[in-house]
């Protein structure tokens, strides 16, 4: 099963000054997932302070758009992974 994307952690680490590559490497996340979350947050002008009290399920399903989830599903399917949870 594919891992769930931890939107809150990515934005928290970005707000603390970590680069996207550092986040991906040190937290064992895909660079694609980290860069997509960062891009969406930037496009929607969302900061960690805006979302810190929201739970990850809400963020994944309401902040990350259906279009982006569809792209993640496609990426995971191409890699032979399960898409349950996306």
Mean pLDDT (the chain, rounded): 80
Q: Taking the model in full, what pTM does it have?
A: 0.70
Enumerate long-range contacts of 46-50, CB under 8 Å, 24 or more apart: 46/11, 47/11, 47/15, 48/8, 48/11, 48/12, 48/14, 48/15, 49/15
Chain segment 16-69, per-residue pLDDT in tens? 999 999 999 999 999 998 998 898 889 888 899 998 998 887 887 777 665 565
**53 phi/psi in degrees, rounded to 5:** -95, 0
How many distinct helices (H) and strands (E) make up the chain?
6, 0
Instruction: Flag whether pLDDT at 74 surpasses 80.
Output: no
């Amino acid at each position: 099963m594919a891992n769930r994307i931890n939107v809150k952690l990515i934005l928290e680490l970005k707000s603390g000054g970590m680069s996207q590559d550092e986040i991906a490497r040190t937290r064992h996340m895909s660079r694609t997932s980290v860069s997509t979350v960062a891009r969406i947050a930037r496009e929607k002008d969302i900061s960690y302070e805006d979302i810190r009290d929201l739970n990850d399920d809400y963020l994944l399903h309401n902040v990350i758009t259906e279009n982006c989830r569809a792209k993640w599903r496609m990426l995971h399917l191409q890699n032979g992974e399960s898409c349950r949870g996306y």
